[in-house]
Structure 1
Amino acid sequence: MTVPMDVTRQPTWPGLANLSQSILAALGGVGFRNAFELAPSSATCLLLIDGLGHALLQEHAQQAPFLAALAKPGGVFRVGFPATTAASLATLSSGMASGVHGIVGCTFALDADSEFSPLTWTCSPFSEEKLATLAPPPERFIVPQTAWEQASEQGLRISTVMPARYADSPYTRAVYRGSQILGAPSLDAYPLLVRQALTVDAAAYCFAYFADLDFAGHLFGPGSEAWLEQLRSADRLAQAIFRQLPQGARLLVSADHGMLGLDSAEVVDFDLEYGLQEDVLAIAGDIRARHVYIDAARHDRVLERWRDRLGDNYTVLSKANAIAGGLFGDVMLSQAEGRIGDLIVVPNAGGGIIRSVVEPAASRWQGHHGALADADQVVPLLMC
């Protein structure tokens, strides 16, 4: 029997926010906490490999010899909730939990009528009878000043190297404020762009983003040959960036979340579960981190029904309990609270809530993440 997760035992301050603040503090930034106790540095590159969980790197170390050689005992941390790209990258750049920056999932309710997808920056109606709200202006979506903006005002030089196709997206404009965006036409361009970003007359931080491991993992599964090819590519990229670093610069390598294949015995299809659909207004979020929106008058009834149906394989939390337990961080802003589901549903092991009719593509994916399990949460922190 799977033991239900105790959310109160989860760290309430996400590790990616701590990592961001620690890097900026080590570069001389004022007002940032160095929870990772990084040594002072005048130039740092953080290469983020999307979807590279700690367990996956350990299991496939022979495919990534450069990265595996950098692994040290205890060199891991938990990214924060939800463990999904849209929220994690915002947590890293803002230095804040999802309950403050407001990106609380891969999708979530922007209002009573509309579901918002931050990575595509689009809104869709929750039902055919409703009209979708217009997507909000990206530059004003994160309300508080981000960590990168604060550091930039202090004179730190912050740059982001990413695939050129993402360089001017609304999500990029929303999340990477305070950073100079350097769009790379190919991975071969990354090392020189990083070197140029760090070769300046100021303390410098360059964030480099590798996306394709996560993409391959979703479609073909972690450990598949397509996934292994992307892992080998990420390993070569990390080594190439390291060889091009200016003298005295530091390279860190980490990830925004892990990934795992679902256990079919624990998967629940919401679109075929009429008992779960009763009194539910909408459902959003990741397959392993669902937001469920319900009528307030039927809250307790629906909560009990979901817990009874899902049993010990899942943790089903009310919004109030999730917030009180620090699931979305110690601080909660009102706009973020309004986006969070009335219920938060996460699998304790290998399950997930799919939607075979409404989300046919994602329901067929071979790799997933988002929850509080180690496979979703624990990522490496490598340094050279």
Structure 2
Amino acid sequence: MSLMLPSGLESTRSIAGVAPQLLAAIDGARADLPAVRSAVLVVVDGLGAIPLRAHAGHARTLAPRMSKKDIAAAVFPTTTAAALTSLLTGVAPGVHGMVGYRVLDPAQDRLVNQLSEWESAGVDPLTWQGAPTVFEQACAGGHPAFAVGLKEYADSGFSRATLRGAEFRSARSVGERVELAWELAAAHEGALVYCYLPEVDKAGHKHGVASGSWVAALEDIDAALARRVPDGVGVLVTADHGMVDVPSHRQLLLEAKDGWHDGIRHIGGEPRMLHVYTEPDTEPAGILARWRRDLQGFADVISRVEAIDAGLFGPLVTDAARARIGDILVIARSNVAVYDGEADDQRGRGMVGQHGGLTPEEWRVPFIRMGAFAR
């Protein structure tokens, strides 16, 4: 099967290129971003370029600064674990190995949630995600590195996988986090500062992109980013992915009574991009053909080989990453979500805003220059 990539995906700058650009800017090298005294990377989790434009009246700081060229492509899958890791390492998921939300640990033959199950699954973040972080690279070059976020993220397994090398600083409100990031960049010459803002993503999951809660979260972030950037400090505002709203009648449930689990050992990933792992003694080709037929019109169903050959996980896929990718991938189209009806935890079916797929709403994100980066 030939997978049709979204128009412009291959030609658009990738968020995997952000880390090298920021390092070049603080090193004084002229690249896509000009040389600066210090740099701040602001990641607004879940803020797609399309919904930002659609709500431009609620984002009077960000929206006017985002021209048609001020966008970047997320990585595949368009999920936080994969995309944030690419932003913070400068490499694609095929290299850093964070290939989905819940993926197979072959050594234990179990699924591991890449955001929250490191400790409970006994997975070592330092070996599972071995690519050097942008903070480690900055420190190696003699630059201070800081990560600003919520206190509860300070010691998580995901933070140890992605924030290595950074000095973690916490603040509760959006405004306090942005202010702290500005202060750190101004006080430390040559610093690289990361500021993480998850509020839009949380509001979208719970209430949807079209909701008042999502708009309120956007307004709060936009107001915080309106504060004056210190002289000589470059600020880049981007996101890990966007989001689409999935109404309840667009949820497809894969139940064992309908034969969906025949020959299947694990169903991982997330509802808009499933990793499907077949039983070792099962021929995946037959299952692939059946799933492709039965999900026609709702999702693109492809094999691991097809996904890798299409470059979805990047131009290089390591052996470790390959082993974590499903035998079959189910990439939801439009505003569909596909759920494992036999999963122990069904709370995810209450989510409105979702991501993981390849719609423009999910993979197009802002690439907004502010402060000394502004053109």
TM-score by length of 1: 0.88
Change (3 A) 1:289 1:328: same
1:62 aligns with 2:47: no
Contact 1:49–1:213, Cα closer than 8 Å, also in 2: yes
Letter in 1 for 2:173: S
1:248 aligns with 2:232: yes
1:380 aligns with 2:366: yes
Match of 2:254 among 270, 288, 299: 270
Contact 2:331–2:357, Cα closer than 8 Å, also in 1: yes
Counterpart of 2:4 in structure 1 is 6
> Offset of 1:150 from its aligned partner?
2.0
Counterpart of 1:129 in structure 2 is none
Counterpart of 2:304 in structure 1 is 319
Q: State how 1:1-384 maps to structure 2 within 5 Å.
A: 5-7=3-5, 10-11=9-10, 15-28=14-27, 34=31, 37-111=32-106, 113-122=109-118, 134-200=121-187, 202-240=189-227, 243=228, 245-262=229-246, 266-271=250-255, 274-296=258-280, 297-356=282-341, 358=343, 359-384=345-370
Query: Residues of 2 paired with 1:295 and 1:227: CA distance?
Result: 41
Contact 2:304–2:326, Cα closer than 8 Å, also in 1: yes
Q: Deviations over 1:99-138 (max 9, x none)?
A: 11111111111126211012113478xxxxxxxxx42122
Secondary structure at 1:277 match in 2: coil
Letter in 2 for 1:365: M
Query: Residues of 2 paired with 1:264 and 1:91: CA distance?
Result: 31
Letter in 2 for 1:305: R
Secondary structure at 1:290 match in 2: strand
Counterpart of 1:127 in structure 2 is none
Secondary structure at 2:365 match in 1: strand
Q: Deviations over 1:2-41 (max 9, x none)?
A: x9842497539981111121111222278xx95xx12222
Query: Residues of 2 paired with 1:13 and 1:107: CA distance?
Result: 27
Name whichever of 21-30 and 111-120 sits farther off.
21-30
Q: Identity, % of aligned pairs?
A: 30
Contact 2:88–2:163, Cα closer than 8 Å, also in 1: yes
Letter in 2 for 1:219: K
> Offset of 1:173 from its aligned partner?
1.3
> Offset of 1:148 from its aligned partner?
2.9
Secondary structure at 2:283 match in 1: helix
Query: Residues of 2 paired with 1:209 and 1:140: CA distance?
Result: 24
Secondary structure at 2:149 match in 1: strand
Contact 2:135–2:145, Cα closer than 8 Å, also in 1: yes
Secondary structure at 2:244 match in 1: coil
Counterpart of 2:373 in structure 1 is none
Q: Deviations over 1:62-100 (max 9, x none)?
A: 111111121112111111101111111111111111111
Letter in 1 for 2:69: G
Change (3 A) 1:308 1:145: same
Query: Residues of 1 paired with 2:367 and 2:132: CA distance?
Result: 26
Query: Residues of 2 paired with 1:249 and 1:136: CA distance?
Result: 37
Secondary structure at 1:199 match in 2: helix
Contact 1:106–1:119, Cα closer than 8 Å, also in 2: yes
- The Cα RMSD (Å) is 2.4
Query: Residues of 1 paired with 2:231 and 2:190: CA distance?
Result: 13
Query: Residues of 2 paired with 1:26 and 1:80: CA distance?
Result: 23
Contact 2:138–2:192, Cα closer than 8 Å, also in 1: no
Change (3 A) 1:8 1:290: same
Name whichever of 180-189 and 40-49 sits farther off.
180-189
> Offset of 1:146 from its aligned partner?
3.0
Letter in 2 for 1:11: E
Letter in 2 for 1:17: A
Q: How many correspondences in the alignment?
A: 366
Secondary structure at 2:296 match in 1: helix
TM-score by length of 2: 0.90
> Offset of 1:185 from its aligned partner?
3.2
Secondary structure at 1:65 match in 2: coil
Letter in 2 for 1:382: I
Query: Residues of 1 paired with 2:346 and 2:329: CA distance?
Result: 22
Contact 1:213–1:231, Cα closer than 8 Å, also in 2: yes
> Offset of 1:192 from its aligned partner?
3.6
Query: Residues of 1 paired with 2:292 and 2:112: CA distance?
Result: 26
Change (3 A) 1:151 1:51: same
Change (3 A) 1:29 1:293: farther
Contact 1:318–1:342, Cα closer than 8 Å, also in 2: yes
Contact 1:266–1:352, Cα closer than 8 Å, also in 2: yes
Counterpart of 1:128 in structure 2 is none
Query: Residues of 1 paired with 2:119 and 2:99: CA distance?
Result: 15
Name whichever of 64-73 and 85-94 sits farther off.
64-73
Structure 2: tracts of 5 or more residues without a match: 371-375
Change (3 A) 1:39 1:325: same
Change (3 A) 1:164 1:201: closer
Letter in 1 for 2:17: N
